[in-house]
């Protein structure tokens, strides 16, 4: 039988932002409910070595870090419900009963005085079997996260927009050689970024090339190259590389919230500058669902903290924090 759950604060999403929001809310005695979604732990559940999260001298495993956050959230009083929010009635504010009304895939209803949306974003992938198989062996969608592991090595970046060019430039601080693979004969990236890329002697661009397969070798299997197809002639060639960075964009997991709060043209939730308030009073957004720039676990956790603090003030009837 479907249940009805009441809470002062409902957190939607179980990544660094969601867990952090829940931890702060629970410590404020708000007795939060966290609805996990389809992938509890978010993108870190498919991340092996995490070396840039503060507090750990040695690399840690992404799934382990998310398990620790989950346990901490539950320990301080968060109630976790393994469900997926499929419907949300937010845009007109709380209903006559004072609650926002949301519904889960299970049929359960969630009534919350305030809501923190922390459903994250997903990297867009090429859709190759070999790409998926080697995600723990040298295929990545985040140069900031994983570039450090390629010091003195050769890597490939796939894409032609701002993200791809920025990733390639960043990787030159670690790798000896960066190959940029683009299926067209020109970049979509901003001109100033293109100029920086073309001026960098570590970068080589491969125009009119599409990745047919990511090549692996060894036990455990790691990336050893990519097979490329010339999009004009159809000819194939092999390019030896130690790592592959897919930089063709991200998709925010806006789902049922897309038309309930203000979003930009790509679906990212718009929040006030320097805060987490959305266009709907009492609804907050944290993490990658509203951050299209940094997309780091530590920044997601920071905005999760901010969202919980702002939500607490909203419930208490305290005016929003003023900027100084």
Residues with a catalytic annotation lie at 142, 145-146
| Spatial contact of 177 and 155, defined as CB atoms under 8 Å apart | yes
Distance separating alpha carbons of residues 145 and 291, to the nearest angstrom: 16
Q: Which two tokens stand for residue 177?
A: 């050689």
Distance separating alpha carbons of residues 84 and 320, to the nearest angstrom: 30
Distance separating alpha carbons of residues 155 and 153, to the nearest angstrom: 7
Residues 6+ positions from 64 with CB-CB distance below 8 Å:
none
Q: Which residues pair with 34 in a beta bridge?
A: 11, 80
The dihedrals phi and psi of 72, each to the nearest 5 degrees, come to -65, -45
Rg over alpha carbons for the chain, rounded to the nearest Å, is 21
Single out the residue of 151, 100, 152 nearest to residue 280, CA to CA.
Answer: 100
Distance separating alpha carbons of residues 251 and 122, to the nearest angstrom: 5
Measured torsion, CA atoms of residues 304, 308, 311, 313, in degrees rounded to the nearest 10: -130
**220 cis-preceded (ω within 30 degrees of 0):** yes
């Amino acid at each position: 039988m479907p249940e009805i759950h009441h809470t002062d604060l409902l957190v939607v999403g179980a990544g660094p932002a969601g867990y952090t929001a829940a931890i702060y809310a629970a410590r404020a005695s708000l007795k939060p409910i966290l609805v996990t979604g389809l992938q509890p732990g978010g993108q870190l559940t498919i991340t092996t070595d995490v070396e840039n999260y503060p507090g750990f001298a040695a690399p840690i495993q992404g799934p382990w870090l998310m398990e620790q956050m989950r346990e901490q959230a539950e320990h301080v009083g968060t109630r976790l419900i393994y469900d997926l929010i499929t419907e949300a009635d937010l845009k007109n504010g709380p209903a006559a009963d004072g609650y926002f009304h949301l519904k889960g895939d299970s049929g359960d209803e969630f009534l919350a005085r305030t809501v923190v949306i922390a459903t994250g974003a997903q990297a867009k992938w090429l859709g190759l079997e070999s790409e998926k198989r080697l995600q723990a062996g040298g295929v990545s969608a985040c140069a900031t996260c994983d570039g450090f592991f390629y010091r003195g090595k050769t890597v490939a970046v796939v894409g032609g927009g701002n993200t791809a060019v920025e990733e390639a430039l960043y990787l030159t601080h670690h790798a000896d050689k960066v190959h940029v693979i683009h299926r067209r004969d020109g970049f979509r990236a901003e001109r100033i970024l293109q100029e920086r890329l073309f001026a960098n002697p570590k970068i080589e661009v491969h125009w009119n090339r599409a990745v047919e397969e990511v090549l692996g070798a060894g036990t455990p299997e790691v990336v050893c190259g990519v097979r490329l197809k010339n999009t004009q002639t159809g000819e194939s060639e092999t390019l030896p590389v130690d790592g592959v960075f897919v930089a063709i964009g991200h998709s925010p997991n806006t789902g049922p919230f897309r038309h309930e709060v203000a979003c930009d043209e790509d679906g990212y939730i718009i929040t006030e500058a320097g805060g987490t308030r959305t266009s709907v009073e009492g609804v907050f957004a944290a993490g990658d669902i509203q951050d299209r720039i940094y997309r780091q676990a530590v920044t997601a956790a920071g905005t999760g903290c901010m969202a919980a603090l702002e939500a607490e003030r909203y419930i208490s009837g305290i005016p929003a924090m003023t900027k100084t």
